[in-house]
Structure 1
Amino acid sequence: MADAIDTHEIPRGDGPVLLANATLPSAVTAGILNHIGDGLGRADILIDKGEVAAIAPCGELIDDGGAARIDLDGGLVLPGLVDMHTHLDKGHIWARRPNPDGTFPGALEAVKSDREAQWSAEDVRRRMSFALACAHAHGTVLMRTHLDSIPPQDGISWEVFKDVRRDWADRIDLQASALFGVDTLEDPAFLPAIADRVAEAGGVLGAVTFMIDGLETHVEAMFRAAEARGLALDFHVDETADPNADSLRIIAETAIRTRFSGQIVCGHCCSLARQPDDAVDRTLDLVARAGIGVVSLPLCNMYLMDRAGGRTPRWRGVTLLHEMKARGIPVAVASDNTRDPFYAYGDLDMVEVYAQAVRILHLDHPSGDWIRAATSTPAGLLGDSTRGRLDVGSPADMIVFAARNWNELIARPGGARTVLRGGRAISRTLPDYRELDDLMASKDLGI
């Protein structure tokens, strides 16, 4: 097969379609496969009425002539991908507010300046919609975005989010988590106000944790506020090279002590890779006991961590996914920032993210079931067990590649692919950056 599915061959009506000679990862299906090694198997997939109607070894599905048969010639098929940690409100501001030096402090200051000067409802809505159009074209079906929630921005961005979630409901299932520095909780009026706003919007409570006096008290207050409102928790944790940063341990201890009943996710956890083995073991044992999921953001953290002018970085900035997974801790990878001061690049393409994660984090030799880190594991952490899998009865939302195995996919992640939603090919035309040109004048810089 020289290319992905010829979309002209896919019927536009409601009739059944048989995708013959597909390659599937066994980790994301309960279907019966002819296994070919490296966690992959061959199968035929019958799609009917927008769902996966059957999966069987090649040639075993009886075609009564009613299904349109398309031979994939071994093309790899993945379920629609799950991007569980993004920042849609920050996305695509690079042209008007670049990071001056590529550092974490530079990103913080640039975003703060841009937010205070330009984050109107229209600005946030248009940039969010542009980013979602990219993610949809690439094959993402479920996403969580963090929203900067320091007043007065919370009153703007959460209302925009609710509108955008409704507008995109037939294409991407969208969630949101609050984002603010944990030191904001020193204002006693802030937490109940933001927790109520999050609850009203059906969101998730979250914060950036770092080592400050009273951190344990602030973290426990967040657990109590979330428990009282039935909210999940999603923290940005220890995004630093400082080995003394161990708020991940504090979060895990608090979860155990409070017997928190909701889902907890911790993102980044970079400093863990800088700590001695005995400290790592103690923390990860607590994380496993607490049932916390961890998401690594390899592209953003390699961009930011250990950056200094004129000096080659000495470490990768990613957390210890292998050690976590070995303990049964749910682990995922995600996009994080997109064309903003925290990460200058990216396009919310989870195929690219996964391919780079394989290279950066050594998710190979063997590839095994690591594809779950971009599919079923993040879906589960986001509370949706129907996403990230291809089982009989699941939505026929999938990506079909010209690549026939992991090596071909990771070697050429930008290669031909066809995105199916409800078993029908969608347009993969990406929005042009020129669509945002009128938003790119920086008001305070005069450019």
Structure 2
Amino acid sequence: MITPFLDLPDSDTYILRDARVPACLVQARGTEDLVRVDLLVQGGRLAALGAGLERPGVPAVELDGALVWPTFQDIHTHLDKGQIWQRAPNPDGTFAQALTATATDREAHWTRDDIAVRMEFALRSAYAHGTSAIRTHLDSFAPHLDIVWALFRELQARWRGRIDLQAASLCLLGQLAGDVGRAIARQVAATEGGMLGGLVVHEPGLADALDRLFGLASEHGLDLDLHVDENGVETGTGLEQVARAALRHRYRGRVLCGHCCSLAVQPEPRRRETIALVAEAGLGIVSLPLCNLYLQDRQPGATPRWRGITLLHELAAAGVPVMLASDNTRDPFFAYGDLDMLEVFSQSVRIGHLDHPFLDWPRAITTRPAEWMGRPAPLAIGGPADLVVFDARSLNELLSRPQADRLVIRSGRPTATTPPRYRELDGLFHSGC
């Protein structure tokens, strides 16, 4: 059992005194991108936030400048794929082998019980690390389609109040034509927070496929969450074409584009044109730095020449909402990870140079994905006291150690901070299920 560094009083009302919070989350500026505040927790909610809070008779916990963040919002994951590495490793770490290994494992092993065990494990891991909302993409290939969406709705109900769950379909755009596309759209529409999704890459007929996608989404009143240009192809135009389709259809729903890796390897004029179109169309971008660093530019015996990620700084400078998320976890697309958004942020800072100064990048895993998921703003007065308290006193200290002793607070009370043991998954591999 991991012991948090801090104990809370046995009371539903208390003050967290002298905390440091990311300044961008409270529209303030402070030394090293942080501001010092007190937080009043009352009845499971954040009742007040400011300097020098005093309430007679209310116990106070002295933090001495320790960091307090809101719980994390993980807007792009693959819970149905996760935790299969032991039986489905990627032999060379490439994208092509990831597709093959996953398809083989899905055909052989993805029963309802197998998926349920792995998804529960993932949710328990994320919850222990301090995540309160997750959006997952679900492989929506027959006959897997009906199984995984029905299971997801069960998990969504069971985890309500601990982790708010959303899902997006994942398939080839060509599958969205005809009866198959309508069946996928029905499953998505029948699910609270369901979104239509698919794989978008530069290919002949892409504009027509996107027209079908946007038409299907409009018909069912669905938002879109897409995998776009997850490659290093300089001629990739998927992102540009998604933006043009959104403008062409005058689409009123939200469109979130994940990955968008090829944008980083394109000539500068095309980059500027595409970013301008993305901003005009109102698209959101979610970057998955850990997975993209793992897969992109991987060649046998060669050192990678680029980091795999999209143009985070340039998109943000153009006013495009940019987010960060976990993506895959211990599967052929990413061999590592534990659905810990602090790890995602820490590694993203290193990979994307999101520091000196940090500016509003803490919003990329908190308030911005919350807004895109239609959730209340973290750290909102009157909202749930869902917090993560770290012993670290600066962003440098926070990102220099794993922070395994963090204190996760949900509705004002501490929660278990121990992720499940990997040994709990042994039955999936030893029994052959």
TM-score, with structure 2 as normaliser: 0.97
Does 2:204 match 1:213?
yes
Residues 93 and 295, structure 2, Cα contact 8 Å, conserved in 1 = yes
Does 2:319 match 1:328?
yes
CA-CA distance at 1:36 after TM superposition: 3.7
Pick from 188, 196, 204: which aligns with 1:198?
Answer: 188
CA-CA distance at 1:315 after TM superposition: 0.5
1:41-90 CA deviation, whole Å, 9 max, x = no partner?
10110000111111111xx212211x221001100000011100000000
RMSD (Å) for aligned C-alpha atoms: 1.5
Residues 10 and 424, structure 1, Cα contact 8 Å, conserved in 2 = no
Distance 2:347 2:354 in 1: 10
CA-CA distance at 1:359 after TM superposition: 0.5
Indicate the SS of the match to 2:178: coil
Distance 2:432 2:207 in 1: 40
Q: Counterpart of 1:301?
A: 292
CA-CA distance at 1:415 after TM superposition: 4.5
Residues 94 and 298, structure 2, Cα contact 8 Å, conserved in 1 = yes
Residues 355 and 413, structure 1, Cα contact 8 Å, conserved in 2 = no
CA-CA distance at 1:4 after TM superposition: 5.2
Q: Counterpart of 2:396?
A: 407
Residues 87 and 336, structure 1, Cα contact 8 Å, conserved in 2 = yes
Does 2:43 match 1:49?
yes
Distance 2:416 2:132 in 1: 15
Distance 2:110 2:277 in 1: 39
Indicate the SS of the match to 1:240: coil
Q: Counterpart of 2:127?
A: 136
Residues 10 and 425, structure 1, Cα contact 8 Å, conserved in 2 = no
Distance 2:53 2:369 in 1: 31
Q: Counterpart of 1:373?
A: 364
Closer, same or farther: CA 233–288 of 1 in aligned 2, 3 Å: same
Q: Any runs of at least 4 consecutive aligned residues in structure 1 with deviations exceeding 6 A, and if so which?
A: none
1:131-184 CA deviation, whole Å, 9 max, x = no partner?
000000000011100000011100110011000111111200000000002232
Please give the residue correspondences for 1:125-164 in structure 2 after superposition, counting only pairs within 5 Å: 125-164=116-155
Q: Counterpart of 1:10?
A: 9
Distance 2:421 2:5 in 1: 24
Distance 2:333 2:235 in 1: 23
Unaligned runs of 5+ in 2: none
Residues 96 and 442, structure 1, Cα contact 8 Å, conserved in 2 = no
Q: Counterpart of 2:277?
A: 286
Distance 2:117 2:431 in 1: 16
Pick from 408, 415, 428: which aligns with 1:419?
Answer: 408
Distance 2:347 2:353 in 1: 9
CA-CA distance at 1:37 after TM superposition: 1.4
Distance 1:276 1:373 in 2: 27
Pick from 410, 416, 425: which aligns with 1:436?
Answer: 425
1:343-375 CA deviation, whole Å, 9 max, x = no partner?
000000000000000000000010111100111
Distance 1:299 1:278 in 2: 27
Does 2:314 match 1:317?
no
Distance 1:188 1:211 in 2: 22
Q: Counterpart of 1:358?
A: 349
Pick from 229, 237, 247: which aligns with 1:238?
Answer: 229
Distance 1:50 1:165 in 2: 22
Does 2:16 match 1:19?
yes
Distance 2:22 2:302 in 1: 41
CA-CA distance at 1:211 after TM superposition: 2.0
1:184-222 CA deviation, whole Å, 9 max, x = no partner?
24x522211211111011310000111222111111111
Equivalent pairs counted in the alignment come to: 430
Pick from 372, 381, 385: which aligns with 1:392?
Answer: 381
Distance 2:400 2:5 in 1: 20
Distance 2:67 2:244 in 1: 42
Distance 1:145 1:302 in 2: 20
Distance 1:101 1:344 in 2: 11
Distance 1:415 1:404 in 2: 15
Q: 1:85 is aligned with what amino acid? A: H
Q: 1:358 is aligned with what amino acid? A: V
Unaligned runs of 5+ in 1: none
Q: 2:429 is aligned with what amino acid? A: M
Please give the residue correspondences for 1:79-228 in structure 2 after superposition, counting only pairs within 5 Å: 79-185=70-176, 187-202=177-192, 203-228=194-219
Distance 1:43 1:348 in 2: 29
Indicate the SS of the match to 2:195: coil
Residues 182 and 210, structure 1, Cα contact 8 Å, conserved in 2 = no
Distance 1:241 1:62 in 2: 55
Closer, same or farther: CA 36–211 of 1 in aligned 2, 3 Å: closer
Indicate the SS of the match to 1:189: helix
Distance 1:382 1:62 in 2: 35
Q: 1:191 is aligned with what amino acid? A: G
Distance 1:331 1:4 in 2: 32
TM-score, with structure 1 as normaliser: 0.94
CA-CA distance at 1:442 after TM superposition: 8.3
Residues 4 and 400, structure 1, Cα contact 8 Å, conserved in 2 = no
